[in-house]
């Protein structure tokens, strides 16, 4: 499917068909999308909980309580659910870990290129950590870059999705011990196939006109 076609067909799914399941082959593609998403300086400050079992979805649904209970069916009825979490800090140890992985993957023809790459990435991280003092906010921007490419990717597979910030993120952190692992929940995306009764499926897409939002120079 062409990207523009996928963008035209995708929408925020309100009702999932419990009987329709994502294939094992597509689940593997979904994992690949999460892994391969871009991030500034390739810093990859994220962690994912992928729930495909009923037990797993029930655990994620613990975040859809109280004020957010309206989102519970979108978790339980979906075929799969992804919790996108963001690193709460980026340490020098983690930066070296990334460099070593890049080295193993053959990205550096010479040692000096590895050192230069590491120093540039550390400069950006330190700028946000010490000067701008917005390291977590910057890191979460990278997570949302992943969410954006992910929504397009699953749409190209013909999989419906809905991203949700309307969740108790603290409850999710506690359920999956994310803070102890150095992460905190940012957004949840449910995946599957739309139900025939989903009112949002047939509504026309509405966006601001190109003339209003695009300035060609």
Please write the tens of the pLDDT for every residue from 143-196.
999 999 999 999 999 999 999 999 999 999 999 999 999 999 999 999 999 999
Q: Is 14 a catalytic residue?
A: yes
Q: Is 115 a catalytic residue?
A: no
Q: CB neighbours of 89 closer than 8 A, spacing ≥ 6?
A: 135, 136, 182
Q: Is 152 exposed, middle or buried (0-12, 13-18, 19+ CB in 10 A)?
A: middle
Say what the pTM is.
0.97
Q: Which of 57, 74, 87, 122 is catalytic?
A: 74
Please write the tens of the pLDDT for every residue from 62-120.
999 999 999 999 999 999 999 999 999 999 999 999 999 999 999 999 999 999 999 99
Q: Which of 19, 100, 115, 165 is catalytic?
A: 165
pLDDT at 174: 98
pLDDT at 39: 98
The mean pLDDT value for 116-128 works out to 98
């Amino acid at each position: 499917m062409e990207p523009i076609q996928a963008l035209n067909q995708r929408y925020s799914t309100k009702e999932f068909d419990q009987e329709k399941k994502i294939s094992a082959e597509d689940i593997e593609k979904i994992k690949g999308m999460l892994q391969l998403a871009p991030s500034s300086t390739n810093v990859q400050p994220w962690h994912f909980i992928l729930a495909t079992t009923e037990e797993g979805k029930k655990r994620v649904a613990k975040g859809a309580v109280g004020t957010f209970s309206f989102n519970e069916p979108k978790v339980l009825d979906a075929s799969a659910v992804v919790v996108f979490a963001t690193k709460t800090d980026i340490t020098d140890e983690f930066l070296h870990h990334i460099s070593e992985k890049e080295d193993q993957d053959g990205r550096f023809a010479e040692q000096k290129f590895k050192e230069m790459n590491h120093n540039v990435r550390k400069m950006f991280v330190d700028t946000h950590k010490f000067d701008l003092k917005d390291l977590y906010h910057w890191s979460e921007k990278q997570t949302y870059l992943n969410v954006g490419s992910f929504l397009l990717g699953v749409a190209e597979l013909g999989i419906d999705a809905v991203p949700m910030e309307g969740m108790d993120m603290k409850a999710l952190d506690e359920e999956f011990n994310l803070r102890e692992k150095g992460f905190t929940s940012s957004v949840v995306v449910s995946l599957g196939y739309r139900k025939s009764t989903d009112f949002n499926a047939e509504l026309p897409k509405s966006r601001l006109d190109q003339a209003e939002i695009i300035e060609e120079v």
